[in-house]
Amino acid sequence: MDAETVHERILAAIERGWIKGPGPVSAPVTRFGVNFPNPVGLAAGFDKNARGLHAWASFGFGFAEIGTVTRHAQPGNERPRMFRLPEDQALINRLGFNNEGADAVAPRLENRPKNLVLGVNIGKSKVTPLEQAADDYAYSFQRLKDAADYVTVNVSSPNTPGLRTLQDRGPLSQILWRLREMDGTKPLFIKIAPDLNDEQIADVAALVNDLDITGVVATNTTISRVNLKQDPGQEGGLSGAPLAGRSREVLALIRQQLDAGRTVINVGGIHNEEEARARFVQGADLIQVYTGWVYGGPDFPARIARAIASPVLPR
């Protein structure tokens, strides 16, 4: 059974209540005016279509980011397109923003649970030309923002042709200006790639500061295969333990260059309690996990949240 089929069956079982978590974890924090039950979130990509909203708090998550959602429903790339790399504690995916579209997802957010902070991750539809990207993001933003505590603009997936060029200052500022004009108060984040160089990271930070954007989600998956033991020729975005070092580097860079009060959500390679604690020491306000949960088991997010709340990490 391929990795995506396993994922689909697990998500269906969670949606139906057949798989349950150990229960909520209380380690409250407040960021950008939002009260989080704890600072450990489910990263975008796991629950693309908002199917498991009622369940995420029970697994120990303090927040969940659904999506990526695009304006138009789309099937994504051809299968197989998700691959487990157990030797590396990693995944490679080239899903291509497969999702049911903003119009289908929006009604599911109306009855969202009150014990979970909700983020919505939006991306560009594959059929939309790059020069019309701002219109595409604006449609999804308008449809989904009211039910969300924050919205993340995903311009960094490696699996949609040309998408990463939207991280450049010109097109990115056009998108962000458009969304800010529509709603100047909705907390807004940019999700960036770990493959940006230092100058590009500085440009993103400057834009976040200049446009009064809430913060940055760092990072998405990587196209790098440095030190990968298993299947290095497989195309797609790499997540999991091999990304940890670069994710920490980008965290340090972006934290240094953002104005005080901006929020950094750090994701990438968080595979144990020590790694999670290190991200907060380096300046993360919140963290997200995905691949670490795949390999760490159902209680992984709860373990991470309890460890962060504890003054001494368990040995």
Residue with tokens 């369940």: 55
Residue with tokens 């995944």: 91
Report CA dihedral (60, 187, 46, 258) to the nearest 10 degrees. -90
Domains of the chain: 3-309 (3.20.20.70)
Residue with tokens 């014990």: 115
- β-bridge pairing 150-154 and 188-192: parallel
**Separation of alpha carbons 7 and 15, rounded Å:** 12
Residue 313, pLDDT > 80, answer no
pLDDT band at 311 (very low <50, low <70, confident <90, very high): low
For 186-238, how does the pLDDT look when each residue is reduced to its tens digit (9 = 90+)? 999 999 999 999 999 999 999 999 999 999 999 999 999 998 999 999 999 99
Catalytic residue flag (residue 58): no
Determine how many CB atoms are found less than 10 A away from the CB of residue 54.
15
For 19-57, how does the pLDDT look when each residue is reduced to its tens digit (9 = 90+)? 999 999 999 999 999 999 999 999 999 999 999 999 999
Determine how many CB atoms are found less than 10 A away from the CB of residue 151.
23
**Separation of alpha carbons 62 and 295, rounded Å:** 20
Residue of 125, 157, 239, 247 marked active site: 157
For 83-134, how does the pLDDT look when each residue is reduced to its tens digit (9 = 90+)? 999 999 999 999 999 999 999 999 999 989 988 999 999 999 999 999 999 9
The string over 234-254, giving b where at least 16 C-beta atoms fall within 10 Å of a residue's C-beta and e elsewhere, is eebbbbbbbbbebbbbbbebb
Q: What is the arithmetic mean of pLDDT over 140-148?
A: 99
**Separation of alpha carbons 273 and 314, rounded Å:** 8
